[in-house]
Amino acid sequence: MANPPSYEELRKQNQILVKEAAHQALTRKALENDIEQYRALVENAPDLIHSVTPDGSFLYTNQAWKNALGYTAEELKTLKLMDIVEEGCRDKCHCIFENLLSGENIARNETVFVAKDGHKVLVEGQCTTSFLDGKATRMTGFFRDIGERSHNEQALRESESRYRDLFENAHDIIQILQPDGKLLYVNNSWRQTFGYDEEEIKDLSIFDIISPDCQDHCEDTFGKIISEEKTHYITTIFTAKNGRQVLIEGNAICKFEGGKPLYTQCIFRDVTEKKRMEEELIKAQKLESVGVFAGGIAHDFNNLLQAIIGNISLAKMYIDPQNKAYERLEKTEKASVLAQNLTQQLLTFSKGGEPIKSVTALSEIVTEATTFSLRGSKVKCHYQLADNLWPVEADKGQLSQVTQNLAINASQAMPEGGILTIRATNITLDASTIATLPDGNYIKITFQDQGSGISKENITKIFDPYFSSKKAGSGLGLAISYSIINNHGGLITADSQPGQGALFTIYLPAAQGIIPAQKKVASQSTLEKGRILVLDDDEIVLDVLHEMLTVLGCENDAAKEGNQAIALYKKAFQAGKPYSGVIMDLTIPGGMGGKETLALLQQINPEVRAIVSSGYANDPIMANFRAHGFCGVFPKPYTIEDLSQALTAIFSPT
Whole-number Å distance between alpha carbons of 408 and 363: 18
In this prediction the pTM is 0.42
Is the model's pLDDT at 235 over the cut of 60? yes
Is the model's pLDDT at 159 over the cut of 70? no
Q: Is the dihedral of CA 318, 324, 329, 330 positive or negative?
A: positive
Average pLDDT over residues 16-37: 62
Please report the pLDDT score of residue 26 as a whole number.
60
CATH for 290-336+522-654 (2.40.128.110, 1.20.1270.360, 3.40.50.2300, 3.30.70.1560): 3.40.50.2300
Same fold, 43-151 and 362-509: no
Please report, as a single letter, which amino acid is at residue 269: R
pLDDT classification of 349: cutoffs 50, 70, 90: low
Domain-wise residue ranges, the chain = 43-151, 170-270, 290-336+522-654, 362-509
Listing from the earlier edge strand, what are the strands of the sheet with 120-132?
58-61, 48-52, 135-145, 120-132, 109-114
CATH architecture, domain 170-270: 2-Layer Sandwich (3.30)
Is the model's pLDDT at 352 over the cut of 60? no
Higher pLDDT, 281 or 78: 78
Whole-number Å distance between alpha carbons of 202 and 184: 8
Least confident of 386-390, 424-428, 496-500: 496-500
Is the model's pLDDT at 360 over the cut of 50? yes
CB 583 within 8 A of CB 608: no
Q: SS3 for 578?
A: coil
In percent, the amount of the chain with pLDDT more than 90 equals 13
Question: Check: CATH 3.30.565.10 for 362-509?
Answer: yes
Is the model's pLDDT at 90 over the cut of 70? yes
Is the model's pLDDT at 10 over the cut of 80? no
Higher pLDDT, 394 or 24: 394
Please report the pLDDT score of residue 291 as a whole number.
63
pLDDT tens profile 115-130: 888 888 888 888 888 8
Sorted by sequence, the CB contacts under 8 Å of residue 636 that are 6+ apart come out as 302, 303, 305, 306, 541, 613, 614, 615, 617
Task: Residue 20: count other Cβ atoms within 10 Å of its Cβ.
Answer: 10
Ranges assigned E (strand) in 510-641 = 530-535, 554-559, 581-584, 610-612, 632-633
Would you put residue 564 in left (φ > 0), alpha (ψ -120 to 50) or beta? alpha
pLDDT classification of 383: cutoffs 50, 70, 90: very high
Please report the pLDDT score of residue 566 as a whole number.
93
In angstroms and rounded to an integer, the radius of gyration of the C-alpha atoms of the chain is 49
Please report, as a single letter, which amino acid is at residue 564: Q
Whole-number Å distance between alpha carbons of 294 and 465: 12
The CATH number of the structural domain formed by 43-151 is 3.30.450.20
Sorted by sequence, the CB contacts under 8 Å of residue 234 that are 6+ apart come out as 221, 248, 249, 250, 251, 252, 266, 268
Q: SS3 for 495?
A: strand
Least confident of 292-296, 389-393, 477-481: 292-296
